[in-house]
Amino acid sequence: MKLEIMPLSIPDVKLIRSSRISDSRGYFFESYVRSDFAASGISENFVQDNQSFSAVPGTVRGLHFQVFPYAQAKLVRVLQGKILDVVVDLRVSSPTFAKHLAIELSSENADQLFVPVGFAHGFCTLMPNTEVFYKVDNTYSAAHDRGLNWADPDLQINWPVKNGQAVLSEKDRALPHLSSLPNYF
């Protein structure tokens, strides 16, 4: 498999594009081959696969993360639809601490986003019936589950939906702002 790693504004976060083989039937590609990813510098041992479905555009999920010893790296891609995927650097010693990046992922482009440990992650659906799939390198732990408020004005994220129009869980609506978070990473 040929992987193309795209540089992003936060260097530890990586956009990954795999080559597709297309013909009259459609396409085929290998979305994950451990040895190819390891050769490209992504050596995490993914142990759990997660999938979400959102029926309505403007659904926001996040910004989520887990703390040690259950902190998670993620490999995110869209199976159906399109999202604006957002990560926020929570590593206090990082030169990009509190900075974010946002990138569109879709079933059409089949790009994947690698999100290392130490980042809050979330997304907003841009199309109806969007399915997001992601691998994580640690299992879910409710006791270690944390989050960051998606609409924190200090983050200056340009979401495609306004605060009052976003479809959110009650849990996500109540997440704290960055200024209230302890230094987890």
**Residues acting as catalytic residues:** 64, 134
Strand order in the sheet with 14-18: 3-6, 14-18, 112-115, 74-80, 130-136, 48-54
8-state DSSP, 173: H
Torsion angle (degrees, nearest 10) of CA 32, 118, 71, 60: -80
Helix, strand, coil tally for the chain in percent (to 5): 10, 40, 50
